[in-house]
Structure 1
Amino acid sequence: MTSRALIRPAWTPATIALMVGGFFVFWPLGLAVLAYILWGDRLDAFKRDVNTSTDRFFGGLKRAGFDASSFGGQRTGNVAFDDWRDAELKRLDEERRKLHEASAEFEAYARELRRAKDQEEFDRFMRDRRSRGTRKDEGPVVDGHPA
């Protein structure tokens, strides 16, 4: 059994009711719900693109010679601690990058799994449709029942 959210970017009774109610209460709220219904499925990709571009921007700053101490990560004066902190921050950045890559791989895997499931259901539908179409003696079939 699949679990589906009540409020999701699709034309469901709940989202339609929220949109209409939003227009009654305050028209920009209704407009925001309408935008969510139409373009909400693109929010994950938008967030991923923003994160990627932000990472690229700050990576460019690091390559240009700016370091964490320029943005508030003050040196403590203890060289051993500062070196350890820098090494840990680099390690954490590498772990974060690996997590982002794993997340992207899983999203691609889940997308392919959904596509394969959809293809299987479609193929089953077409087989059933063809098998119903070959039986001429039963007459037309409407909604899965003989007419």
Structure 2
Amino acid sequence: MTTAPAYAGRTTGAILSRIESWLDARGKGAWIAAMILGFVLFWPVGLAFLAYMIWSKRMFSGRNSMTQFNTRRMTPTRFRSSGNQAFDAYKTDMLRRLEDEQEAFETFMQRLREAKDKAEFDQFMEERAKTSRSDGAAEA
């Protein structure tokens, strides 16, 4: 009596899907190791791994991103008490002032963009009016 392998009867897509989920569970390092192993064994396999990692955006984003790590690690310290009431009051006041300044700056930038857009539009309309006046004078 012979025993069939565990993957017998499965489609190639199911096998590839299972490999993909296995690599995803182990993180970006597993993807990179599989790619390197693919290059060592047979370079088109490694190239296929690289292309798939870039195409699926596994190479440039993911759970292991340092920015996500730093964000998750640093965010709770903003709200945690230091134990010193004077410092906590100062920190709360400073954070509120910084948020107010940021909001005022964003409002200023919005007004500046609107003024620039209006100036560009007015210049366009003025040039258009000059063009239509010169066309009207040329026809007469």
Q: TM-score, normalised by structure 1?
A: 0.43
TM-score, length-scaled by structure 2: 0.45
